[in-house]
């Protein structure tokens, strides 16, 4: 028999990091909250990494198929304390709401948390203006329903109902995009920890009770209609954590390089963008995001967010151009055009602000003699000024 493995564009975290998760489960045998695969401490280590240290399995914990030693790389770049608070919230079976600007890794963090806690990140509902209550509770297989009437077999559970049955973590992405009355379906579910199925009254399936371990992680984007519009009743059932942009230039540059490199590995193409170019790219993103350059000069902020996620996308585009059009032109010459594309996303008039950045910070750095910035200054025409 031939086995075919179908390549996936995106591997869920529990699959991509299966060996790390198995290792951590063996490494830390301490007490776990009900339904958890790992100890809370091991979940934090999985997400924030082991600081380059190799963790070593005790003799009695060694098993075939597990490495004896393993260094766990950091996946989420940010405060360890924030991740600890998230883990504590989940250990208490409370809802966790991750809020923040777009592209700050809220979804990534929720995926990593759910994969580590319960072994699956796939019980997810994507919130949109069209999300219905059924998508949060349950629906029906109409062919079975019409043929045999309501029965447990005909019930189509939502990801949340499945999580309740198995004591897992369900995720609701972009919760504030759902209509308030749809959001409110979560209130009763989070307080009663059960879903009634009136159609099945009188049978075993009339009420689904949440198994220990069940909880919810929701994400909300500050640029969408607000978290402030969530009902007080629902807010009270979640612990809020704000995820901010990465604080440190070097950490952000390293992350952007790592992620762009990984993206190139996925398409099996070489990565050949200099660290200096990556640093210039991330510096420009941060200056424009913060409204202040590294040197402390004022910069006019565009209305778009200039997120790390966008910086990764630009770095990947540069690497792809380099790989597929080698020798056509140097990658640095592509940077201003990509920056312009990002800056103008919310307001096309913001192109002028990028030009202002060029005439201010970029020019001053060029005059100070930095070669790479001099080259960028020479490319000012690309910005159409």
Ligand X SMILES: Nc1ncnc2c1ncn2[C@@H]1O[C@H](COP(=O)(O)OP(=O)(O)OP(=O)(O)O)[C@@H](O)[C@H]1O
Q: Does 227 bind ligand X (CB under 6 A)?
A: no
Please count the helices (runs of H) and the strands (runs of E) in the chain: 18, 11
Burial class (CB in 10 A: 0-12, 13-18, 19+), 354: buried
Q: What is d(CA 307, CA 127) in angstroms, rounded to the nearest whole number?
A: 21
Please state whether beta strands 169-173 and 124-126 pair in parallel, antiparallel, or not at all (unpaired): parallel
Q: Does 107 bind Mg ion (CB under 5 A)?
A: yes
Q: Does 132 bind ligand X (CB under 6 A)?
A: no
Residues 253-282 that bind ligand X (CB under 6 A): 255, 259
Report in angstroms how near the CB of residue 74 gets to ligand X at its nearest. Answer: 8
Rg of the chain (C-alpha set): 24
Residue closer to ligand X (CB basis): 346 or 368: 346
Count of residues that bind Mg ion according to CB under 5 A: 1
Which does residue 358 touch among ligand X, Mg ion, none (CB within 5 to 8 A, set by kind)? none
Q: Does 108 bind ligand X (CB under 6 A)?
A: yes
Q: Which of 77, 83, 96, 91 is nearest to 38 (CA)?
A: 91
DSSP string for residues in 234-256:
HHTTEEEEE----S-HHHHHHHH
Backbone angles phi, psi at 93, to 5 degrees: 60, 25
The interaxial angle of helices 106-118 and 80-91, nearest 10 deg, is 50
Binding-site string for ligand X from residue 184 to residue 223, where x marks contact by CB under 6 A and - marks none: -----------------------------------x-x--
- From candidates 18, 57, 77, 187, binder to ligand X by CB under 6 A: 77
Which does residue 188 touch among ligand X, Mg ion, none (CB within 5 to 8 A, set by kind)? none
Interface region with ligand X, contact rule CB under 6 A, candidates 7-15, 63-71, 305-313, 321-329:
305-313
Residue closer to Mg ion (CB basis): 219 or 322: 219
305 close to 289: Cβ distance less than 8 angstroms: yes
Report in angstroms how near the CB of residue 106 gets to Mg ion at its nearest. Answer: 5
Residue closer to ligand X (CB basis): 257 or 356: 257
Q: Does 105 bind ligand X (CB under 6 A)?
A: yes
Residue closer to Mg ion (CB basis): 186 or 278: 186
Q: Does 170 bind ligand X (CB under 6 A)?
A: no
Which does residue 139 touch among ligand X, Mg ion, none (CB within 5 to 8 A, set by kind)? none
3-state secondary structure (DSSP) of residue 216: strand
Burial class (CB in 10 A: 0-12, 13-18, 19+), 34: exposed
Q: What letter would DSSP give residue 34? A: T
Q: Does 307 bind Mg ion (CB under 5 A)?
A: no
296 close to 259: Cβ distance less than 8 angstroms: no
Report in angstroms how near the CB of residue 8 gets to ligand X at its nearest. Answer: 15
**Rounded to the nearest 5 degrees, what angle is found at the Cα of 79, between the Cα atoms of 300 and 244?**
30
Report in angstroms how near the CB of residue 48 gets to ligand X at its nearest. Answer: 10
Residue closer to Mg ion (CB basis): 14 or 101: 101
Which does residue 259 touch among ligand X, Mg ion, none (CB within 5 to 8 A, set by kind)? ligand X
Interface region with Mg ion, contact rule CB under 5 A, candidates 107-115, 194-202, 266-274, 302-310:
107-115
H-assigned helices in 7-105: 13-16, 18-27, 40-48, 80-91
Q: How far is CA 155 from CA 5, 141, 204, 209, 307, in A?
A: 31, 6, 13, 15, 41
Report in angstroms how near the CB of residue 266 gets to ligand X at its nearest. Answer: 13
Residue closer to ligand X (CB basis): 73 or 384: 73
Residue closer to ligand X (CB basis): 238 or 373: 238
H-assigned helices in 39-179: 40-48, 80-91, 106-118, 133-136, 142-148, 159-166
Which does residue 215 touch among ligand X, Mg ion, none (CB within 5 to 8 A, set by kind)? none
Residues 34-53 that bind ligand X (CB under 6 A): none
Which chain residues interact with Mg ion by CB under 5 A?
Answer: 107
Which chain residues interact with ligand X by CB under 6 A?
Answer: 76-78, 100, 102-108, 219, 221, 246, 255, 259, 308-309, 312
């Amino acid at each position: 028999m031939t086995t075919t493995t179908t390549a996936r564009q995106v591997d869920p975290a529990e699959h991509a990091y299966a060996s790390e998760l198995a290792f951590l489960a063996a490494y830390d045998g301490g007490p776990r909250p009900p339904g958890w695969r790992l100890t809370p401490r091991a979940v934090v280590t999985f997400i924030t990494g082991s600081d380059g240290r190799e963790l070593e399995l005790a003799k009695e914990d060694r098993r075939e198929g597990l490495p004896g030693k393993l260094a766990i790389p950091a996946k989420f770049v940010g405060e360890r304390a924030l991740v600890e608070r998230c883990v504590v919230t989940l250990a208490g079976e409370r809802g966790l709401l991750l809020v923040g600007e777009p592209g700050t890794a809220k979804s990534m963090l929720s995926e990593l948390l759910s994969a580590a806690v319960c072994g699956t990140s796939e019980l997810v509902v994507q919130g949109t203006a069209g999300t219905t209550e059924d998508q949060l509770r349950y629906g029906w297989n109409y062919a079975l329903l019409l043929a045999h009437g309501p029965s447990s077999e005909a019930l189509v559970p939502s990801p949340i109902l499945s999580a309740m049955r198995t004591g897992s973590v369900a995720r609701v992405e972009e919760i504030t995009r759902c209509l308030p009355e749809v959001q409110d379906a979560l209130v009763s579910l989070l307080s009663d920890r059960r879903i009634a199925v009136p159609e099945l009254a009188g049978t075993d399936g009339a009420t689904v009770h949440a198994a220990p371990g069940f909880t919810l992680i929701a994400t909300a984007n500050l640029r969408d209609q607000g978290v402030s519009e969530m009902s007080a009743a629902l807010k009270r059932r979640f612990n809020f954590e704000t995820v901010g942009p990465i604080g440190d230039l070097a950490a952000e540059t390293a992350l952007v390089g790592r992620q762009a490199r990984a993206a190139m590995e996925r398409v099996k193409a070489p990565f050949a963008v200099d660290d200096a170019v990556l640093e210039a790219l991330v510096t420009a993103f941060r200056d424009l995001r913060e409204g202040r350059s590294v040197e402390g000069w004022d910069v006019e902020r565009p209305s778009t967010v200039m997120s790390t996620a966008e910086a990764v996308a630009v770095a990947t585009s540069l690497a792809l151009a380099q790989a597929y059009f080698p020798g056509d032109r140097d990658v640095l010459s592509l940077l201003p055009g990509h920056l312009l594309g990002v800056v103008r996303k919310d307001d096309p008039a913001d192109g002028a602000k990028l030009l202002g950045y060029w005439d201010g910070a970029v020019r001053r750095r060029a005059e100070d003699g930095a070669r790479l910035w001099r080259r960028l200054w020479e490319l000012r025409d690309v910005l159409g000024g």
